[in-house]
Amino acid sequence: MAWCSSGAISCSRGCGNVISASFAFLSINATATVLHVLVTGAGGFLGQYIVEQLIARGDKVRALVRRKAPALEALGVECVHGDVQELADVKRACRGVEVVFHAAAVAGIWGPWKHYYNTNVLGTKNVISGCHHGGVTRLVFTSSPSVTFAGRDQCGVDESAPYPKRWLAHYPHSKALAEQMVLKANGEHHLLTCAFRPHLIWGPRDQHLIPRLLERARAGQLRQVGDGKNLIDAVYVENAAAAHLLAADVLRPDSAACGKAYFITNGEPVNCWQWINEILQLAGMAPVQRRISLPAAYAAGAVMEAVWTLLGRTDEPQMTRFLVAQLGTSHYFDIASAKRDLAYEPKISTEEGMRRLSAWLRRAPAGG
C-alpha cells in the first residue's frame, strides 16, 4: 500500500533503546562468528529492527546516517555521517565491512522523479560501487513488492512475476531499477547479492503506515475502495528484519539465494478493509463507513494527478491511481522460495503482531 515505507532514509522518532526480548528467536549466524556489517537506512522503521537483531546476536554494526543518531549510538552502533547520494561517503562507510544491508530509500506516492531517482537508483549504484571498492562480499537489498505491480490483482504470485511495462508511481519504478542493478551485480568483484520485497511492513514504532492511516481517518479522508473483498499480504516488522539476517548468513557462492529476489510476508493474507478497521479499532476509532467504487476512485486519482501536475504542487494528492489500485485490488504472494532457499519462517503471527501493535498504540503519544 502507498502508506508503507520499506526503509525511510531519515530516522523515525521513537527509536527504541532497548532490544526487544522477542529477538530471542534469532539464531546465531551460520558461521558462528561476529560479522562486521553496514546498515543504510538504520534510523528508519525496518532499519532499526535490523540493527537491533544484529546487535542481539553479537554482530558489529556500522550505520551510514545523515545526522546524529543518539538512539543508534546508545546501542553501540558505529555511526558514519554521510549520504548514499555521495559516493565518497558510501566508500568510507563500506571499508572493512563484510555485509551491507541497504535499506535506505525515499518512499511515497508523489513527487518529482529526480527525488526518487537520486536516492533510490543512484544511491543504490553508489552502494554497489562502495561494496566493490571496500571488498564487501555480501549485499542484501531492501526492495518492494510494488516493483511487479501494474495496478491489477496479484493473487499468490511468485518471483516469476515480471516488471510492469508502465508505472503508476515513481517509487516502484525507481525501486525496480535499483533491484535490477543489485541482482545484476551478483558475482561481480566477489560480491554476492539478493533482494527482498517485504510487503506492507507494520508493527510498533512505525512512523509511516499506521500514523498516516490514523491521520486520514481522523480527517475523515478514508473511503473503502471497491467491494471490500480484496485480500492483501503484510509482514510484521520483526519477521521482515529476521529475513534480512537469514540472507546475510546463507549468501555463499553455492547458495540458491545469490542474485535472486524474494517476496517476504507473514504468509497470512488478510482482508484489506477488515484489517484496516481492526487497526482503527485498536486506536479507539470508528471503522470506515464511506465507500467508492474502484473505477470511480481510479478516475478521481487520475484527475487529481493531472491537476497537481498542472499546478506544480509537491504535496501529496489525497488520491492517486497507485494508491487506489493498492487499496482496491488483491495483492498477496507465494513465499515458498524464501522458505526453501533461506529457511524463512515468519515467527510472529499476525495475531501476535496485532497484540503488540495494540500495546504500542496505547503507549504512543496522541496522533501516532
- Residues with a catalytic annotation lie at 171
Q: For the chain, report the end-to-end CA distance as a whole number of angstroms.
A: 18
- H or E, element range at 114: helix 113-116
Pairwise CA distance, residues 297 & 302, whole Å: 9
